Amino acid sequence: MPTDLDEMFIALGRQADTLPLGPAASARRRGRQRTRTRAALAAAAAVCLITGGLAVTTTHRRADPSPAASPLPTVGKPIVFGGTARNVTTAISGATAYAVWVAPDGKTNVAGADLRTGAERFPAHALGTFNQVNVVRALPKAVVVDVQEDMDRMLYILDPATGEQRWKLPLADGDDHVYYENDLVHMKMKTGETRAFDWATGDETWRQPAGADPVVHTVGMRMEADAPRAGFSDPRLIQLTKGNRVLIRDAATGKSLGNVPGQIAWGDPYLAYEGTLYTVVPLHYTEAKKVWSSYLIRETDLTAPYLSRSVRSGPAGRALQALAPCGRGKLCVLDTLDSANQLASIDIGASAENWRVDAPPTAFSLESSGGRVLAVGGRSNALYDTDGKQVLLPEDLAGAHVGWIGSAAVLSLSTSGEVAKVLVENGDREVIGSVPPGTTAWAWNNERLVAATPTEMRVLDLGG
């Protein structure tokens, strides 16, 4: 091995040797805690989004409240779990709210409630015994429960009307799965094979074996009109190969619609949006100049003749963390240098930055609506207007969990359980109520908020 790389690995090892570790007792203590309480994995699993009735939820550990705001009114009666769960997740699709909870013995249950009346949609029943629920996605034709049992991960596909299990799909590291209206497309990293399964029956609808140039990533084509976290409405399935080619398939049949040579960087954020693929060439070091370059965003038109060009490089030394569309002809990027985050808006056509501002140091993803951008990072968030002005500062949202409600407002849930709606146009904040003490999971749409504690789920009226 080249001497300089050899020496660099030795230096890396020595640096690792200086990292302090807690005693064995702290690992044992953490192990006991994992068994007793909800895993922090689920606590930071997803971001709560709201749109037109579709929502994914998150579970959180929350300091417990005596909020000043009045409790949000409960619609109907709460659905009681019959015990104290160690892991709870909720989701909404259409007119139904779902709760999935893990009892202390690992037994995992699902229940559904009518959002309009709060009445039980179907009685609670068991799915199986697992360590934890990673995430729940509620779609019009299926509810997908992603669970973990030791080292194994599984998707359970449920009937949205009854909560009954229809079929299940094991997942492995590196696998991709993409949700469409009628089926789920799964790319298995180990074999390079791509298959589609009917939501209702689990029957395989098509299969593409691994080619000589295996697929390494599979994504759907996002369209501006698509609701976040919903299935993809555009029928194109986009696959990136190890040989840096882009394959375009019909997601309904698996048939090839074309393939494109592309400068793809594995592992970096990329986006297929409105017929264009945005990929990122990562930063690299130039020894002669002793400088790091930066990331380079490239776009490839996914319709013939598949024109491709460089859009924009980031500032020197900055690494890309997240990429999201944020208005017509615009991309927003979150990049970082030594943990200092910045958010920038790029005019795609002009290959120019519209603006660049500081972002919360712990932000890791972007969610946009109506051209405005929410930089989300666990308990550190900020909201930016279309011109980069901060509508809500990290301090305003300190410790809160936030997400869009419609395109003109953000809903925030503070650590005290207070629920507030913030108009993005002027930052006006209205406290509309509070969730029950001990709430650890929630989901919302424009009219309802579903809140779950370790013992029950309630449908709450947002008064929208």
- Residue numbers of the site for another protein (CB under 8 A)? 1-2, 4-9, 11-13, 15-22, 24-28, 30-35, 40-41, 43-46, 61, 134-135, 150-151, 173-174, 216, 242, 265-267, 282-288, 292, 319, 362, 364-365, 377-379
Question: What is the DSSP code string of 3-71?
Answer: HHHHHHHHHHHHHHHTS----HHHHHHHHHHHHHS--HHHHTS-----BTTEEB-EE---PPP--SSPB
CB 39, min distance to another protein, A: 8
Nearer to another protein, 362 or 455 (CB): 362
Q: Distance between CA atoms of 383 and 393, rounded to whole angstroms?
A: 7
Least separation in angstroms between residue 398's CB and another protein is 13
CB of 242 to another protein, least distance (A): 7
Under 8 Å between Cβ of 314 and 295: yes
Nearer to another protein, 43 or 408 (CB): 43
Question: Of 224 and 287, which has the nearer Cβ to another protein?
Answer: 287
How is residue 401 annotated by DSSP? E
- For another protein, the closer of residues 227 and 319 by Cβ is 319
Closer to another protein by CB, 19 or 304: give it. Answer: 19
Q: Is 98 exposed, middle or buried (0-12, 13-18, 19+ CB in 10 A)?
A: buried
CA 31 from centroid of its chain's CA atoms: 27
If the CB atoms of residues 37 and 455 are measured against another protein, the closer one turns out to be 37
Least spacing, CB of residue 223 vs another protein, in Å:
23
Q: How many helices (H) and strands (E) does the chain have?
A: 3, 40
User: Could you tell me the smallest distance in angstroms from the CB atom of residue 108 to another protein?
Assistant: 17
* Shortest distance, position 172 Cβ to another protein, whole Å: 10
Q: What is the dihedral of CA 222, 225, 230, 235, to 10 degrees?
A: -50
367 phi/psi in degrees, rounded to 5:
-135, 125
CA–CA dist 3, 20 (Å, integer)? 28
| 174 phi-psi bin (left φ>0, alpha ψ -120 to 50, beta other) | left
Reading the block at residue 48, the tokens are: 């709560």
Q: How far is the CB of 275 from another protein (least distance, A)?
A: 26
Q: How far is the CB of 291 from another protein (least distance, A)?
A: 10
Tokens of 457: 């789920």
Q: Is 89 or 276 the residue whose CB approaches another protein more closely?
A: 89
Q: CA-to-CA distance for 149 and 154, rounded, in angstroms?
A: 8
Nearer to another protein, 386 or 415 (CB): 415
With CA atoms as reference, report the closest residue to 217 among 184, 185, 253, 180. Answer: 185
